[in-house]
Amino acid sequence: MFSIKTHLLQRAMQQLGLVAFLFLSSLSSGAMAAGLLPPTNSNLPELDIQSHKVNVILEDGFATTSVEQIFKNPHNQDLEALYSFPIPDKAAVGEFIFWVDGKPVVGEVLEKKQARDIYDKEKQAGRQTALTEQKGYKTFEISVTPVRAGKEVKIKLVYVQKTDMDSGIGRYVYPLEDGGVDEEQLAFWNNNSTVKNHFSFDLQIKSSWPVKGIRVPNQPKAQVNQQTDQVWTVTMGSQTSTEAAQRQGEEETDVKLEQAISQVSSSNSAYTLDKDMVVYWRLADNLPGAVEMITYKPEANARGTFMMTLTPGIDLQPINEGKDWVFILDISGSMKGKYQTLAEGVKRALKQMSPNDRVKVILFNNKASELTSGYTLASNSNISQLIQEVEAIKPQGGTNVYDGLSMAIKKLDSDRTSAIVLVTDGVANVGVTEQKQFIKLIKSKDVRLFTFVMGNSANKPLLENLTEASNGFSVNVSNNDDIVGRIMLATSKVSFEAMHDVDVKISGIKVTNVQPEAPGSLYRGEQLVLLGHYWGENDKEAKVTFSSKISGERKNYSSQFKFPAISTEHPEIERLWAFNTITTYQNQIDNFGGNNNESEDKKQAIVDIAKEYGLVTQHTSMIVLEEAQFKQYNIQRANNARIKTENQARSIRAKQAPQSRQVDQQQPMYKSNRSYVGGGGHGGALNFWSVLMLLPLLIFFRAEKNSSKSKV
């Protein structure tokens, strides 16, 4: 996931060299492993990654990911290290620890320029310091200085994110590849994808609902263990030499142990991953629609934070009338190695079209072109011909997303229901690239846009804002996903009624700062997650009403339940609320431009919220100093205190069995079961086998129910 770039600490101005140690590369031969990559002509020395450990806990609607790394400088001179990694989708990074003189020191968040200035001063003084910065929308960069000659450096990063759950299928991605943007850039870089010593990935799912199965695509070494029907684990990686030796029983003497360590090390000293880690889990069938909630409110007279997850149990009917489908396909150079998989997904989607549907295919790289001559009726012969033409395309060139989208919107038929499906893995780098121009374009017509964002390099904020502005939805697709299944899962939603103009009202208790402010639309199988603040010195019952338009008719669903006066179990949701609020403000800045007073006010609000809740953003950074230097710069240790509170809560939860977080048991909001892939809204048993050919991401779940351990 990480890469290193090093340069000598010199007395004069230093020349920065990009040198990466990349232990993870992408699915395709073209895309690269995570991080900034070294120029091919670089002669600067690399640092060694000695250890990389990942620990993930999925519980109560959010995931906590902890990444610990040890680097070693094998050279005879002190170095500064700079490494980068892709930002996990919708993740809030709030904990960065750097070991100073063998002791862990927690970073504190400051305004970006201030943090950089302090780092440079400390570097010049020769004191140990580290800095975490967000670069644009997709990467973090961590600078560490000095890395002493022949010595090791240890760092730890922790981030939290909401759980991705759709149609009874949960999905977690640990991003390990940066991906490429276009072929010109791909040709400029090289990479090394080997970890020399220990790599481990440990994930635990503690679900409040029974879990039917887990799948880890394209990772044959992953081990899946079922502890109970609600607790599962996924583990993979190389053993440490000591661990492996002890398992061999070589513990009688130190000499035997050292011999065993040496023997194991020689055969198990390197570990290579070349794909994102993607984990799917499937909930049991026939689960009810429900409202779940977790809270954090340490004092009765203090402000509380809630995270409410609504899983509608609403029977959305299939749409049988003919529709117009416009597929906009990215054929730029970065799609090499991925395009045939994309084409297979489009092929499956086209074959499911109704004979009353019409199809149009638009291609774009440096400019857009139409593959079809206007709309084509979805007859068997037309679809077969179109599939052949799509499969024959050879990706090349840049990424002019705007031109492709503009061509699709300008040629819509206003008399028919239309859906635009945009599939891209890149960044808009040719033609119009300003986000506000994209928003203006998509709002010029009443049309739903559905985007498939492939890989970790794509401009996710732009594409997700576009879909939100059109009341569509966005699907993130890792190169290591079952891409065909992801495309089929999403396009199947468009064939059913949707919930539009969704609104949630909470009465009977004071509630403010709810995110998202305007939920927009929900499609079949989707959940709505709300984060907000509440007040109340006593446990107080509130009425929660969910309403939406379905086929033009407004429908209401409600329940009543209590918001607790004191709740200390989930302090992390404060960061999740802050992250969502910051994301909203940043989207507004990007959508309407950043050169006005309102945008400046929002930037200041982002800085204030990020400093209060300890988050790295495009406007704030996290710095680690020697403890005395925090006092020297008068930096309060607020994040240090917050992390202690979070760790204490995690420790308590770790000892507990999974808890039900459903709050509407006494007065259910929905009478029907939730929607499943291939199943009805009334919760009939999932006709799982009938959809396997359409959704290969589910194929693993035929595993025997009584199996307690599987190698996936």
pLDDT tens track for 312-337 = 998 888 877 777 888 888 888 877 76
Task: Quickly list DSSP for 544-606.
Answer: EEEEEEETTEEEEEEEEEEEPS-B-S-TTHHHHHHHHHHHHHHHHHHHH-SSSHHHHHHHHHH
Residues 6+ apart with CB under 8 A from 475: 450, 451, 452, 453, 486, 487, 489, 490
Same-domain pairing of 583 and 641: yes
Angle (CA) 118-121-124 rounded to 5° is 150
Most distant CA pair in the chain, distance: 82
| CA–CA dist 130, 141 (Å, integer) | 10
Alpha-helix residue ranges (DSSP H) falling in 414-458: 435-442
- Reported residue count of the chain is 712
Same-domain pairing of 504 and 489: no
Q: How confident is the model at residue 276 (pLDDT cuts 50, 70, 90)?
A: confident
More confident of the two residues 514 and 689: 514
Q: Are 519 and 503 in contact (CB under 8 A)?
A: yes
The residue among 454, 476, 493 that closes a domain is: 493
Same-domain pairing of 376 and 356: yes
**Shortest CA distance to 333 belongs to which of 420, 404, 438, 429?**
429
Q: Looking at residue 508, what is its pLDDT?
A: 94
Question: Residue 559 corresponds to which tokens in the numbers above?
Answer: 């329940």
Same-domain pairing of 100 and 167: yes
Q: In this structure, is residue 665 part of a structural domain?
A: no
Secondary-structure percent of the chain, ordered helix, strand, coil, rounded to 5: 25, 35, 40
Q: Looking at residue 379, what is its pLDDT?
A: 84
Q: Are 254 and 245 in contact (CB under 8 A)?
A: no
**Shortest CA distance to 277 belongs to which of 134, 174, 406?**
174
More confident of the two residues 152 and 73: 152
Question: Residue 255 corresponds to which tokens in the numbers above?
Answer: 């000499």
Residue 509 pLDDT > 90: yes
**Shortest CA distance to 390 belongs to which of 408, 409, 369?**
369
Same-domain pairing of 506 and 489: no
Q: Looking at residue 105, what is its pLDDT?
A: 94
Same-domain pairing of 509 and 467: no
Angle (CA) 231-236-242 rounded to 5° is 110
Q: Any idea which of 121-130, 266-275, 458-467, 596-605 has the lowest mean pLDDT?
A: 266-275
Q: What value does the mean pLDDT take over residues 295-301?
A: 95
Same-domain pairing of 396 and 274: no
Same-domain pairing of 335 and 438: yes
CATH of the domain at 425: 3.40.50.410
Task: Quickly list DSSP for 329-367.
Answer: EE-SGGGTTTHHHHHHHHHHHHHT--TT-EEEEEEESSS
Q: Looking at residue 418, what is its pLDDT?
A: 76
Residue 267 pLDDT > 70: no
Same-domain pairing of 193 and 48: yes
The pLDDT > 90 percentage for the chain reads 34
Q: In this structure, is residue 258 part of a structural domain?
A: yes
| CA–CA dist 141, 4 (Å, integer) | 10
Q: Are 367 and 402 in contact (CB under 8 A)?
A: no
Same-domain pairing of 17 and 65: yes
| CA–CA dist 347, 113 (Å, integer) | 50
Q: Looking at residue 300, what is its pLDDT?
A: 94
pLDDT tens track for 110-122 = 999 999 999 999 9
The residue among 453, 477, 493 that closes a domain is: 493
Q: What value does the mean pLDDT take over residues 43-48?
A: 60
- Rg (C-alpha) for the chain, rounded Å, is 26
| CA–CA dist 210, 681 (Å, integer) | 19
| CA–CA dist 642, 573 (Å, integer) | 12
pLDDT tens track for 535-573 = 998 888 999 999 999 988 999 999 999 999 999 999 999
Q: In this structure, is residue 660 part of a structural domain?
A: no
Within a 13 Å sphere around the CA of 366, how many CA atoms are in the beta-carbon half? 4
Q: Which domain holds residue 393?
A: 324-493
Q: Looking at residue 183, what is its pLDDT?
A: 41
Q: Looking at residue 578, what is its pLDDT?
A: 96
**Shortest CA distance to 649 belongs to which of 570, 567, 564, 566?**
570
Helix axes of 573-592 and 460-469: crossing angle, nearest 10 degrees: 80
Partners of residue 452 on adjacent β-strands: 423, 475
The residue among 473, 493, 513 that closes a domain is: 493
Within 10 A of 497 (CB to CB), how many other CB atoms are there? 18
Same-domain pairing of 341 and 467: yes
Q: In this structure, is residue 554 part of a structural domain?
A: yes
Q: How far is CA 653 from CA 59, 244, 569, 571, 649, in A?
A: 9, 30, 7, 12, 6
Mean pLDDT for all residues in the chain: 77
Q: Which amino acid, residue 287?
A: L
Q: In this structure, is residue 706 part of a structural domain?
A: no
CATH of the domain at 229: 2.60.40
Helix axes of 573-592 and 597-613: crossing angle, nearest 10 degrees: 160
Within 10 A of 267 (CB to CB), how many other CB atoms are there? 8
Residues 6+ apart with CB under 8 A from 80: 6, 7, 9, 14, 123, 143, 144, 145, 146, 147
Same-domain pairing of 577 and 480: no
Q: In this structure, is residue 661 part of a structural domain?
A: no
Q: How many structural domains compose the chain?
A: 3
Q: How confident is the model at residue 484 (pLDDT cuts 50, 70, 90)?
A: low
Winning range, highest mean pLDDT, from 27-36, 215-224, 484-493 = 215-224
3-class SS string, 225-263: EECCCCEEEEEEECCCHHHHHHHCCCCCCHHHHHHHHHH
Residue 680 pLDDT > 90: no
Q: In this structure, is residue 457 part of a structural domain?
A: yes
Residues 6+ apart with CB under 8 A from 654: 57
Q: In this structure, is residue 662 part of a structural domain?
A: no
**Shortest CA distance to 34 belongs to which of 157, 183, 180?**
180
